[in-house]
Amino acid sequence: MIQRNAQAFYLSSNQITAGVAPFNMTATAALPLLLDSMFFTGTFDPALTDSGALITALTLSGQSLLAFDQGFPLTAFLTNNNYAMEGINAIGLTIDTNQVIALTTDFVPLAAPSVVDPIGFSISTSPTDIVISPNASGSMLNFLAGMGRVVVPAAGGLATLQAVCLRDSVFLGRLVMDCQFAAAAPSINPNQIQIRSIRVDGIELMSSINPNVDTTPLSVFQPNSNDKNGLQINYNCSQNSIIQIDVVNNAAGAVSVNAGFFCKPM
C-alpha cells in the first residue's frame, strides 16, 4: 500500500509501448493537485520524425482544454524548449482525487513505441486544498488554441492555416509554429518558410505596412526561439471567430507547417 501525505511531485500518464497513432494517454490524480508545466515524453528527433505532430485532444475530467477546432503543435511540450522557463506551458487548473487528464496525439515516431522507447506525458504539480471543477474554471479552460497543420507547396507555394474559435473570451498569448519537410530533409533552412499574414476575422495582426512583402521567418516562432515577450499575440477572440495564418514556402520541397497559441486567462 502506498503511503501519502500532502506532498505532490509529478503526475505522469500511462506509458505507450506498442501500437500506432493516434495515441491516447491518461493520468489519474491520487490527491488534489494544481497542474503546472506539461511535457511530452518520448524519442523525438525533429530532423527525422514528425515535427508536424499535433495534440488533437486534451481534456480534464472530460472538459476540453482546446479553445479552437484544430490540433496544437506537440513540439511545444518537448523538454528542450523554453516554454517552462517562460511559464506559459503551465496548465494552471486543479484536479481532484481520481480525476483524469487525457491527451491524444497523431505523433508518428521514427520507430514504433516499445518498453525501451515509450510515449507518454508528465505534468509538474503541487498540492492544494482548493479544487475548482472544470465547469467552474471559466477562461482558465482555454489552455491551447490550435491552428492545425497544412502542407505548403514548394518553390513559392502558399497555404493558409485556419481555425474556428469554439468559445467566447479566448485571449491569445504565445504563438508557436513548427515544420516538417518531406523525406525528413533537415538541411533545409526553416527561414525559407515565411509568414506573411496573421488575421482574426479579417483583421491583420502583423505590424508591417505590407506583411505580404515584408514577411516574417517561421524560425522566429519555433519552440527554440528566445523571444520571451514579442511572440505574445495578446488578442481576444470570440466564439466562431475565424483565425488564419498565411504561409509561403520558398524551399525546393513541400513542407508541413503547424501552429497554435498558448492562451491567457481573462
> pLDDT for 66-79, tens place per residue?
999 999 999 888 87
Q: Is residue 187 in a domain?
A: yes
Give the distance, in angstroms, between the CA of residue 204 and the centroid of all CA atoms in the same chain.
23
pLDDT at residue number 148: 95
Q: Does residue 2 belong to any structural domain of this protein? A: no
Q: Work out whether strand 216-217 and strand 242-249 pair parallel, antiparallel, or are unpaired.
A: unpaired
Residue 209 in any domain: the answer is yes
Mean pLDDT of the chain: 85
Instruction: Identify the domain containing residue 179 by its residue range.
Output: 143-264
pLDDT band at 50; cut points 50, 70, 90: low
Exposed, middle or buried, 7 (CB in 10 Å: 0-12/13-18/19+)?
Answer: exposed
pLDDT at 184: 52
Q: How far is CA 257 from the centre of its chain?
A: 13
pLDDT at 13: 92
Amino acid letter at 153?
P
Q: What CATH number is associated with residue 174?
A: 2.60.120
d(CA 146, CA 143): 10
Q: DSSP assignment, residue 191?
A: G
**pLDDT tens digits along 184-234:** 555 567 788 899 999 999 999 888 777 677 788 888 888 777 666 667 889
Most confident range (mean pLDDT) of 116-120, 144-148, 155-159 is: 144-148
Q: Is there a single domain that holds both residue 53 and residue 124?
A: yes
pLDDT at 1: 43
- 44, HSE (Cβ side, Cα atoms, 13 Å): 21
Q: Quote the number of domains for the chain.
A: 2
Q: Which of 38, 143, 28, 14 is nearest to 95 (CA)?
A: 28
Neighbours of 244 (CB within 10 A): 15
Task: Clarify whether residues 246 and 150 are in a common domain.
Answer: yes
Determine whether 226 is exposed, middle or buried from the number of CB atoms within 10 Å of its CB (0-12, 13-18, 19+): exposed
Inter-residue contact 260 to 233 (CB < 8 Å): no
Domain boundary among 88, 112, 139: 139
State residue 204's pLDDT score: 92
In angstroms, the CA 126 to CA 11 distance is 10
Domain boundary (78, 110, 139) is at 139
Q: What is the pLDDT of residue 117?
A: 84
pLDDT greater than 70 at residue 44:
no
Residue written as grid cell 533545409: 188
Closest of 240, 247, 242, 239 to residue 220, by C-alpha: 247
> What sign does the CA torsion over 107, 112, 113, 117 have?
negative
Q: How far apart are CA 266 and CA 241, in angstroms?
A: 17
pLDDT (average), residues 133-155: 86
193 belongs to a structural domain: yes
Q: Are residues 66 and 115 in the same domain?
A: yes
Residue pLDDT, tens place only, 71-121: 999 988 887 776 766 677 889 899 999 999 999 998 877 778 888 888 899
Kindly report which listed range (50-64, 182-196, 215-229, 236-250) carries the lowest average pLDDT score: 182-196
Do residues 110 and 155 share a domain? no
Residue-wise burial string across 177-189, b where 16 or more C-beta atoms lie within 10 A, e elsewhere: bbbbbeeeeeebe
Return the DSSP state at 72: E
Indicate the SS3 state at residue 220: helix
Determine which of 9-13, 37-41, 81-85, 134-138 has the lowest per-residue pLDDT on average: 81-85
Residue 98 grid coordinates: 481520481
More confident residue, 212 or 128: 128
